[in-house]
Amino acid sequence: MSRRPSVIIVGGGFGGLCAAQALKSAPVDVTLIDRNNYHLFQPLLYQVATGSLSAGEIAAPLRSVLSRQKNARVLLGAVVDIDPMRKHVLLADGADFEYDWLIVATGSQSAYYGHEAWREWAPSLKSVEEAIDVRHKILYAFEVAERIGDPAQRRAWLTFVIVGAGPTGVELAGAIAEIARQTLKNDFRSIDPKEAQIILMDSAARVLPPFPEDLAEKAKRSLVKLGVEVRTGVMVKDIDKEGLTIETHAGTHRLEARTVIWAGGVTVPALGKTLANRTKAETDRSGRIKIGPQLTVANYPDLYVIGDLALALNPDGMPLPGVAQVAMQQGTYVAKAIMGRVQGEPQQADFKYFDKGNLAVIGRWSAVANAFGVHMSGFPAWLIWAFIHLMYIVQFQSRILVLLQWAIQDLTFSRGARLITGTAATDFNFNNELASIAKKPTDGDKVVVNF
Amino acid sequence: MSRRPSVIIVGGGFGGLCAAQALKSAPVDVTLIDRNNYHLFQPLLYQVATGSLSAGEIAAPLRSVLSRQKNARVLLGAVVDIDPMRKHVLLADGADFEYDWLIVATGSQSAYYGHEAWREWAPSLKSVEEAIDVRHKILYAFEVAERIGDPAQRRAWLTFVIVGAGPTGVELAGAIAEIARQTLKNDFRSIDPKEAQIILMDSAARVLPPFPEDLAEKAKRSLVKLGVEVRTGVMVKDIDKEGLTIETHAGTHRLEARTVIWAGGVTVPALGKTLANRTKAETDRSGRIKIGPQLTVANYPDLYVIGDLALALNPDGMPLPGVAQVAMQQGTYVAKAIMGRVQGEPQQADFKYFDKGNLAVIGRWSAVANAFGVHMSGFPAWLIWAFIHLMYIVQFQSRILVLLQWAIQDLTFSRGARLITGTAATDFNFNNELASIAKKPTDGDKVVVNF
């Protein structure tokens, strides 16, 4: 009995899922392994973090996406090792699978550049759990501020700092400004949420480095109009429970801020490092694995690496950016290459990236877009952003719901998913926080209530 | 300066929120204190647990509900003590508030009748966190079963037991049966989700004790048609990690089941016990506080207790059930009573409960209803159920979204909110679970994969 060739895909993100779907009619057995049971539409994760959407609305169960694809199966599991010589992958639970072709598409994780301790005080935005955590932090800060009498303490609770002014940082800052100025406008009695200070900082000289200068300038102006303070050329020296220590050309400063969100940079997950060791592949500073023009690792023609984990170079020698469209095009390319090889085609064409442009949204009905070389901003750019993002959300169901959530929210400024969950809202910290403040001499021993 | 009277409401459930809203135009200052920042539409919590809805879709931020009510403020906090003599409430964080009128509406919590250890293996359905936990358990069981070779182990993972055949238990059992038989139909390759055994058990002689006999019988028949095994007259003796020990008239049995959900009974939260001690009020077996015909505690005419925490008697001496409509009518009554007393009206009419009937849904397009004495079942009952539940969901936004989710789901059987979150899906337990199974001699040292 002849066995069908086995294709194992590690990771159900944009790259891995595209590859699996593009192998639909190939005479191979596809195994997609992911540590989560869902595909996550990461570009909208900031909307989960800011209470616009529920996690279920930007995630699709991998099983249901591949439900009707008879040559594909989904395994929930964590791949911990790859043996590229024996062509095996090993799972944390001890299971072991053999492959004929392997596609590694694990994605990236946030990097704190040697300051892992900062993660505790400044969560990033890479997973559903982190997004819920960030949402908790933002909403909770307003709740504590409402209960505090001391003005300095209150100010620290109402200061929100986003470190990193790439697309995620810009989108987060815009959304938090809208929460403070619109969504929560009438919701508190002791504080005015508009007092909130939202600071977007970056060590670079301007926001949105991947965008052209003029669009970055427009984005900055939109942010300022929304009430965001944009600080460029700022180095973060330290982050702790109470705030940050920063360095500018004017010296070192202290900034009291109880909510810090990390939109800094990315690195590869542990499996990426393991794979680089096993294959002796070249990597760049952030650990990405160098791949050839056909997206395979040197000396391992059956081992593909795609998406954020891969260091793929443009013909001009520049690395491709870690964005969804690169991963998706790579996933489709690899699927086609494998099909060609299964059918005995001797030679595959090299991968060519078709850059459709960049988009970043800044609050309600405003965005910047660099599409096919055309620079756009404001409402037209937002329309393109909304259209593209909706089209890409995998499930039909989610698409309608997300559209509807947005329509309601954009018309009413209300945000439906403003639940503080996970850790109980009135947990140990909240009580301690308030109890310790209440005991400080600055505001006496009573919590102030103003009607 | 004359101070406006202060009304403190403890709990933002159906009773507390109704009272707050009904005090809208009263010349009082309303303070609503809750440990969560949202009102939860508890009757739909089972749909969050079974992946039909996201938590955000059945919850409304308390602040946004009361945003425009200028005489009301919301405090996030946990009330730990009440002093009915000095008329003060004390929060866990040390804050202390004085009231002129107090409305205690904390609701109930699940009771394990002295077997607190069971809670770990058999979560109940009282909070968002528990619903997410139950969802995790259900979906995770299918994932583990897909990875297991040993038939007995697999069977244990595909056995779902719901303890308690009241409305929540019936609704859960119906939803899990639909997941197994419809939603997941094509999603697995090694198992057929239809193999799943769903057992609904109760120590009572029939399902849905609050319903008339004929409707209970119809509900049972609908459940059996959906594939649920209904076992009545069964006592649970023990619950552990691997399953349950049960006792029937035929003796004691062991039932291997990795997923057990507790829909057993309710008791009062800690604050209820504290309040009973402080006021020396009479309580019933489950700790509910006896209240008079005007919903106040004996000897404390300014202290109202409503909803699940209250033991209110019908004119015929029967206690009112712990359902949303009782709490809501009590909330509105208390608000009116307080308004009357503020305006110096000497005497208030007694509270009268207007029973609109009972409803329970059993899977898609099927329910039983006892409305105004008319017995209905099947699709007409479901229509009434859907209409009433939508009308009661507080926020306009959620109402459209829930309707749409239902429409999509009922037409396609797909469930959008099937995320395993919280504990990472591939956490320690999952890996250990599979690793330990893999090491058992029964199925060798390899996880079986069938395409």
H/E/C letters for each residue in B210-222?
Answer: CCCHHHHHHHHHH
How would residue A56 be classed by pLDDT, with cut points 50, 70 and 90?
Answer: confident
How many angstroms away from the CA of B25 is the closest CA of chain A?
A: 15
Contact with chain B for residue A270, Cβ under 8 A: no
Q: Which residues of B touch A39 (CB under 8 A)?
A: none
- Indicate if the pLDDT at residue A36 is higher than 60: yes
CB distance B434–A93 less than 8 Å? yes
To test the contact with chain A by mutation, choose from B40, B91, B419, B443 the residue with the greatest count of A C-beta atoms within 10 A, namely B419
Tokens, residue B264: 């057993």
Report the predicted TM-score, pTM, of the whole model to 2 decimal places. Answer: 0.86
Tokens, residue A114: 């040697």
Q: Which of these, B322, B95, B368, lies nearest to B216 by C-alpha position?
A: B368
To test the contact with chain B by mutation, choose from A28, A39, A64, A130 the residue with the greatest count of B C-beta atoms within 10 A, namely A64
pLDDT of B413: 59
pLDDT of B271: 97
Q: Which of the given ranges, A190-194, A323-327, B303-307, B346-350, has the highest pLDDT on average? A: B303-307
Tokens, residue A136: 């908790």
- Indicate if the pLDDT at residue A150 is higher than 50: yes
pLDDT of B122: 96
**Which one has a higher pLDDT value, A439 or B251?**
B251
**Which one has a higher pLDDT value, A134 or A429?**
A134
Name the residue facing B139 among A37, A430, A434 (closest C-beta). A37
Contact with chain B for residue A425, Cβ under 8 A: yes
Same domain, A374 and A407: yes
Mean pLDDT of A211-227: 94
Contact with chain A for residue B97, Cβ under 8 A: yes
What phi, psi does B226 have (nearest 5°)?
Answer: -75, -10
In the chain, the amino acid numbered A156 is A
Mean pLDDT of A369-395: 81
Q: Which of these, A84, A135, A79, lies nearest to A107 by C-alpha position?
A: A79
Same domain, A249 and A302: no
Same domain, B323 and B211: no
pLDDT of B1: 44
Each residue of A73-117: pLDDT tens digit? 999 999 999 999 999 999 998 999 999 999 999 999 999 988 999
Q: Among all residues of chain A, which has the CA nearest to that of B61? A: A418
How would residue B385 be classed by pLDDT, with cut points 50, 70 and 90?
Answer: confident
Domain boundary residue, one of A288, A308, A342: A342
B152 is in which domain, residue-wise? Answer: 118-265+364-432
Instruction: Spell out the residues 6+ positions from residue B21 whose beta carbon is closer than 8 angstroms to its own.
Output: B65, B66, B69, B335
To test the contact with chain B by mutation, choose from A90, A136, A187 the residue with the greatest count of B C-beta atoms within 10 A, namely A187
Measured CA to CA, the distance from residue B160 to residue B165 in angstroms comes to: 14
Same domain, B148 and B162: yes
Mean pLDDT of A35-46: 90
Catalytic sites of B, residue numbers: 171
Tokens, residue A79: 């791949």
Q: Which of these, B185, B169, B183, lies nearest to B229 by C-alpha position?
A: B169
Contact with chain A for residue B129, Cβ under 8 A: yes
Same domain, B143 and B90: no
Percent of chain A with pLDDT over 90: 65
Q: Which residues of B touch A413 (CB under 8 A)?
A: none
Do A104 and A305 meet the contact criterion of CB atoms below 8 Å apart? yes
Same domain, B249 and B323: no
Mean pLDDT of B274-302: 96
* Angle (nearest 5°) at CA A95 between A89 and A97: 40
Do A68 and B186 meet the contact criterion of CB atoms below 8 Å apart? yes
pLDDT of A431: 58
Tokens, residue B104: 């205690």
Same domain, B226 and B176: yes
- Indicate if the pLDDT at residue A10 is higher than 90: yes
Mean pLDDT of B72-95: 95
Q: Residue A41 falls within a domain, yes or no?
A: no
Q: Residue B55 falls within a domain, yes or no?
A: no
Q: In terms of C-beta density within 10 A (0-12 exposed, 13-18 middle, 19 or more buried), how is residue A330 classed?
A: buried
**Which one has a higher pLDDT value, A182 or A217?**
A217
- Indicate if the pLDDT at residue A388 is higher than 90: no
Contact with chain A for residue B349, Cβ under 8 A: no
In the chain, the amino acid numbered B53 is L
* CATH code of the domain containing A132: 3.50.50.100
Q: How many domains does chain B have?
A: 2
Each residue of A424-448: pLDDT tens digit? 444 445 555 655 544 433 333 233 2
Q: A 34-93 residues with CB below 8 A of B? A: 35-38, 51, 53-57, 59-61, 63-64, 67-68, 71, 73-78, 91-93
pLDDT of A401: 62
* Angle (nearest 5°) at CA A417 between A412 and A419: 130
Same domain, A186 and A242: yes
CB atoms within 10 A of CB B282: 13
Question: Average pLDDT over chain B, rounded to whole?
Answer: 87
Q: Residue A40 falls within a domain, yes or no?
A: no
A–B: how many Cβ contacts below 8 A? 230
Mean pLDDT of B171-183: 92
Same domain, A92 and A189: no
Q: Say whether B129 sits in a helix, a strand or coil.
A: helix
Q: Which residues of A touch B93 (CB under 8 A)?
A: 147, 430-435, 438, 447
Mean pLDDT of B276-299: 96
Q: Residue B272 falls within a domain, yes or no?
A: yes
Q: Residue B204 falls within a domain, yes or no?
A: yes
In the chain, the amino acid numbered A287 is G
Instruction: Spell out the residues 6+ positions from residue A163 whose beta carbon is closer than 8 angstroms to its own.
Output: A122, A169, A201, A202, A236, A239, A244, A260, A261, A262, A263, A264
Q: Residue B67 falls within a domain, yes or no?
A: no
Same domain, A245 and A371: yes
How would residue B10 be classed by pLDDT, with cut points 50, 70 and 90?
Answer: very high
Handedness of CA A300, A306, A311, A313 (dihedral sign): positive
Instruction: Spell out the residues 6+ positions from residue B215 whose beta carbon is closer than 8 angstroms to its own.
Output: B208, B368, B369, B370, B375, B377
Same domain, A139 and A187: yes
CB distance B94–A434 less than 8 Å? yes
Catalytic sites of A, residue numbers: 171
CB distance B400–A401 less than 8 Å? no
Measured CA to CA, the distance from residue A154 to residue A304 in angstroms comes to: 52
Mean pLDDT of A24-47: 93
* CATH code of the domain containing B88: 3.50.50.60
Crossing angle (nearest 10°) for helices B378-392 and B396-412: 150
- Indicate if the pLDDT at residue A254 is higher than 60: yes
Same domain, B164 and B312: no
Q: Residue A56 falls within a domain, yes or no?
A: no
CB distance B430–A73 less than 8 Å? no
Each residue of A343-371: pLDDT tens digit? 999 888 999 999 888 888 887 788 899 88
The bridge status of strand B310-311 relative to strand B289-290 is parallel
